Chains A and B, each alone.
Chain A
Amino acid sequence: MTSPAIRIKNLTKDFATGIRRTKLRAVDALNLEIGHNEVFGLLGPNGSGKSTTIKIILGLLAPSAGTVEVYGESAVKVAARHSVGFLPEAPYFYRYLSGRELVRFYAKVCGVAPSEREERVQSVIDLVGMAEAAHRRVGTYSKGMLQRIGLAQALVHNPRLVILDEPTAGVDPLGAAAIAEIIRTLKERGKTVLLSSHLLAQIEGMCDRVAILHRGRLIESGTMETLTAEAGLESLVVDRLTDSVRAEVEAVLQRHGKSLRRTEVPRRSLDELFVRSVRERESERLKCGQELSNRGGDK
Chain B
Amino acid sequence: MNVLAMSGRVTTIARNTFLEAVRQRFFNSILTLALAMLLGAHFFQQFNFGASELKFIADFGFGAIFFFGAILAITAMTQLFFSEMENRTALTLLAKPVYRLEFLLGKFFGAQLLMAVFCLVLSLVLMAVMYVRESALIERFPDSFADGRVVQYWDCLLFGFIQWIKFGILSAIALVIASFSNTNLYTVIVSFFVLVICQLQYIAQDAYGEIVNPLGRFAVWLASLLFPNFQVFNVGERMFVSVVEEPLGAMILLGIVLYGVAYTAFFLLLALLHFRNREI
Interface, chain A (partner B; CB < 8 A): 15, 55, 58-62, 78-79, 81-82, 84, 86, 88, 91-94, 96-97, 105-106, 108-111, 150, 153, 157
Contacts and interface: CB of A to CB of B under 8 A. Distances in A.
B95 interface: yes
A130 to B, nearest CB: 17
B97 A78 contact: yes
A279 B223 CA distance: 70
Contacts of B98: 78, 81, 109
B89 to A, nearest CB: 6
Interface stretch (B12-20, B133-141, B187-195, B253-261): B12-20
Interface string B74-105: 00000000000001110111111111000000
Contacts of A82: 97
A97 B88 CA distance: 16
Interface of B: 5, 8-9, 12-13, 16, 19-20, 23, 87-89, 91-99, 277, 279-280
Contact of A105 (B8, B12, B97): B12
Given A88-B92, A111-B8, A153-B92, A62 B280 contact: no
Contacts of A106: 92, 96
A146 B88 CA distance: 14
A91 B88 CA distance: 8
B9 A86 contact: no
A94 B93 CA distance: 11
A23 B8 CA distance: 40
Nearest to B279: A61
A81 B95 contact: yes
A60 B96 contact: no
Given A92-B88, A97-B16, 14 more contacts: A58-B95, A59-B94, A60-B91, A61-B280, A79-B97, A81-B96, A91-B88, A91-B92, A94-B89, A108-B8, A109-B9, A109-B12, A110-B96, A111-B97
A150 to B, nearest CB: 8
B203 to A, nearest CB: 36
Contacts of B96: 81, 86, 106, 109-110, 157
24 contacts: A15-B279, A55-B280, A58-B95, A60-B94, A60-B95, A60-B280, A79-B97, A81-B96, A81-B98, A84-B95, A88-B91, A91-B92, A93-B89, A93-B92, A94-B20, A96-B19, A105-B12, A106-B92, A106-B96, A109-B13, A109-B96, A109-B98, A150-B92, A153-B92
